[in-house]
Every structure is written in structure tokens, then in C-alpha cells.
Chains A and B, each alone.
Chain A
Amino acid sequence: MKTITFITSDNEKIITEANSGSVMELAVKNKVKGIDGDCGGVCSCATCHVHVEPSFWNAVGAPDELENDMLEFDDNVSDFSRLSCQLQVSEVPDGLILKVAK
């Protein structure tokens, strides 16, 4: 079981646990404000934008070209931006902290 913490734009901290699925699905299940996941995770809607806590960035890794393209024209983009639908719980580090972009 991995622990993933979401911090919303009004600084609410939501600590979640999961083994599998995408990080976006985990956030939606836990009703994390600002993560809508409208497209269900196909990288189309950019409503699951998060900023990875910098200390975890190397372990999480940078977005691929398509995801990067989608982020390019989104609001509040930083060097640590990812779309959480493209992050698999099984592949991210335990204890990961994500700040919701919206």
C-alpha cells in the first residue's frame, strides 16, 4: 500500500492510500478539490493537473511529449507539472506529495 498526499489550492491536506490505478482516479475517489478527471484519464481534458513536490520530481519523472504538449497551454504550469492521469500509483514513490494546480 502506498501513501499519496494531495494539497489543494486552499491548503487542505488529503492523505490517501492505494495499490493500483492512476493517481487521478485516486484523487477523484477521494474527492480532492480541483481534480476533476473529466476525460477519464486519456490525457484530453487537463483537469487533473498537479505540481509534484520538487524532492520527488526525479523519482516521478518528466512528462512525455504528448502530455507535455497538453500542459504547455494550461494555466499555472511549473517545472514540476504533471497530469495525474498519466501517473500510475504502482510507479510513483511511496509518500509522494502533490499540489493541485487549480
Chain B
Amino acid sequence: MEKSKFEDPFKEARQDKGFGEMNDQNDPVKMILGHKDVRKCAHNWKTFQSGGEEVGRIVVPSEVHIRDTRQIPFEVDPPQHKSYRDLIDPWFKRPLEADYQTKLTEIIEKVVEDALAEDNVEVVEEFALKLQSRALTLLLNIPFEASELWISWGTHVFRSEDTALDSDKANILYDYIDAQIDKTIANPDDSLYALLLNAEIDGRKLSKEEVKGVVILTFAGGRDTVINAVTNSIAYFAEHPKSLERLREQPEILNTAIEELIRYFSPLTQMGRVVTEDTQVCEHAIKAQSRISMCWASANRDERVFENANEVVLDRKVNPHVAFGFGTHNCLGATHARQIMKILLTTLSKKVASMEIIEAKENIEGLDQFKRKVGFDSLQVQFNTL
């Protein structure tokens, strides 16, 4: 049962001081750890800003040195934030439509059937990355074939082996998106690119740079996070065959199961903000222009909020997790992500009798004073047909 266990490395610091400290490329981050403090900071977008001058600074590790394009609406604050959100929110709710779900089911069933046909598969590259990339073609509403290139980039499109951030690798994605925008201008279609290129906000057309900003966010925000959620879920059900059995017998717990797995895994550890005025968090003074982060992963294990916080309780009824963030900047892709999880769990329960982990290599994030397992570098699994 050990491989699908995800410890809470923040407990002591959360109970002791309520925050942790991380030096990120000489731009330190005060990590906020408690559920209530995290929500309080996320709510207060004026003091804890996303849309400051320095693009990329709210991401931890900071992307200041590798990115100039502002991610939208992620790095914009109200009131402008609302104009962007109102424009794209309906598009990102398309996963609720029956046709979208039918196509997503085809994609996920194919990945599962392929896994069942092999002796065993490496889940990160061969299963989760494929599933995530193919599902992204639906979210962008572009041909399925586009996913082949994204899959060929591998999981580390923003990273190389030895560094967390790699500008050459990031540029592959940025150049690709530039090319797709130009292609759509030349040949308009029904894609997200086209929606953005035709859209007006506050009485003007979006610039190419703004279109790029939305698309980069769509690519970046939903890649590692979805891959981790999918891979970690496979690991969990491999080691908990009774839970898979329970999903088969009690499909009515599907919704609480999804939310619980997302809480437990918290695929995005934290998100930063830039402090706009001298203030206090957890009775600790914080200076203007410094950085904080809201540690979703820690908040989601806060024992003051969640009973048996370190256990996966598939039918947890009240589950106020913050895995998709909280407040103004909550996750734009959450509807898509939830639909992926819903169809994945349904497909596994229908087609897979059991799974066996053959080999696992953990992906541990180094956060200075904390080390957090966020997923796997590789996970070799045998899938057995029902």
C-alpha cells in the first residue's frame, strides 16, 4: 500500500507556525499552510496580487526568467480579470455537454483498452500523457492528430532532466502556439484560437499576445496537473482493489470519490502571489513586494478541517478542498479535469478487474524545508481485464 501513499510533509510547520519558507531563485516565498489562511489570502486579491508587472513571478518556481507572455486570465486581477473570464468561461464549461463527454469517453476507453492489451505499461508516458494530450484536443476543439506532436514532446516540455525550468524547452511550446495562431488567422476554424482571435473585450479585439497568453495557460495549467491526477489515481486503485470494486458496486459515490482523490493528491502543490502592501499573515509581518504562496497541498491536509486528513475516504461528503484554488482565480480547467476523472474512474470500473504496480519511481518536489511527493517519474503497471 506504500506506493500510492502521499505523505503530508507540512504538518509540523502548519501546526507550529502556519507558514514555511522557500528560497526560490533568490526570490523567497512565504508558504501559507493552513486551510483558513490559504483561503483568506486567495480571497484578498488586492493585497496578494496576481497581475503585477513582473510576468511569471506568481508561479513557484518563478518563471520570470523564462517567460515574457502574460498568462491570461491567470496573471490579471479584477476588474480586467472579469472581462477575460466572462469571455472564456462558457468555452471551458463545454466539458458538461453530452457530445464532449462522448468524445472524451472514446479517448479514455481507447487508452485503457490499449493498456489492457499490453503485458504492462509505463503509466506516465504511455497512459496519462496520451490521455491528457488527446483530451486537450477536445478542450481546444482542434483535430485529434494534433496530440501526436504534444505526446512526442514528452512529459518534460517545461523542464529538462537536471533543472526545474528550461527556457529552450519552454520556447518549443511558445513557438508552436505562435505558429498555430498564425495558421488560424489564415484559415479560421471553430477552435479556441479562433474564438479568441474573433473576440472583443471592453470594445476592442484581443491582441495576438493576449490570445497566446490564454493558450499558454491552457497548455501549461492542464499538463502536469492532469498527468499527476491520472497517474496517482491508477496507483491508488492498483493498491486498493476493494475501492475499485466499490466503484463498480456503488457508482453513486463517483462524485465524492473524484473530489477526494483530487484533495488527497493535490496535483498542484502551491500558487504564489506578490504582496502589494506591508501586511500580516499568521501573525507574521510580510513586506510589500515580497512573495507568498498558498499551499493547496497543505491546506488540503489541515486536520482542523478534514477528519482523517491523511486517509482517502471515497465517500467523504463534506470536502471543502482547495485543490483547484479558491476565489477569483480558481481553476479555469476544473470542469475539464473533473470530467476526465469521472470518465477515467467509470471506465476503469467497467473494464479493469485489477492492476498491479511492477515498478514505481516517485517524483519528489524539493521545496527547501519540505520535500513533497507530487506524483511519479515513472509507474510500470499491469492492467488485468475484467
Query: What residues of chain A have their CB less than 8 Å away from a CB belonging to chain B?
Result: 36, 38-45, 66-67, 69-70, 72-73, 86
Contacts and interface: CB of A to CB of B under 8 A. Distances in A.
A96 B255 CA distance: 27
A43 B324 contact: no
Contacts of B327: 73
B320 A44 contact: yes
B39 A73 contact: yes
Given A69-B36, A73-B326, A73-B327, A42 B320 contact: yes
Contact of B321 (A38, A40, A44, A86): A44
A60 to B, nearest CB: 18
Interface in B256-281: 256, 258-259, 263
Given A73-B43, A73-B326, A73-B327, A41 B320 contact: no
B160 interface: no
B66 interface: no
Interface of B: 35-36, 39-40, 42-43, 93, 255-256, 258-259, 263, 305, 316-322, 324, 326-327, 330, 334-335, 338
Contacts of B43: 73
Contact of A38 (B39, B263, B334): B334
Contacts of B330: 45
Given A40-B259, A41-B255, A42-B256, A66 B305 contact: yes
22 contacts: A38-B335, A39-B319, A40-B258, A40-B338, A41-B255, A42-B255, A42-B256, A42-B259, A42-B317, A42-B318, A42-B319, A44-B319, A44-B321, A45-B324, A69-B35, A69-B36, A69-B320, A70-B39, A73-B40, A73-B42, A73-B326, A86-B318
Contacts of B35: 69
Nearest to B326: A73
Given A36-B93, A66-B320, A69-B35, 6 more contacts: A38-B335, A40-B338, A41-B255, A45-B334, A73-B40, A73-B327
The 7 closest A-B pairs by CB, nearest first: A40-B255, A73-B43, A42-B319, A42-B259, A43-B320, A43-B318, A73-B39
B22 to A, nearest CB: 24
Contacts of A86: 318
A37 B43 CA distance: 19
A66 B318 contact: yes
B319 A38 contact: no
Contacts of B259: 39-40, 42, 44
Nearest to B260: A42
A73 to B, nearest CB: 4
A13 B138 CA distance: 35
Nearest to A70: B320
A94 B159 CA distance: 57
A70 B259 CA distance: 16
A44 B319 CA distance: 6
A69 B338 CA distance: 24
A77 to B, nearest CB: 11
A67 B263 CA distance: 17
A43 B335 contact: no
Contacts of A41: 255
B296 to A, nearest CB: 12
B327 to A, nearest CB: 7
Contacts of B324: 44-45
Contacts of B40: 73
B64 to A, nearest CB: 29
A86 B42 CA distance: 23
Nearest to A41: B255
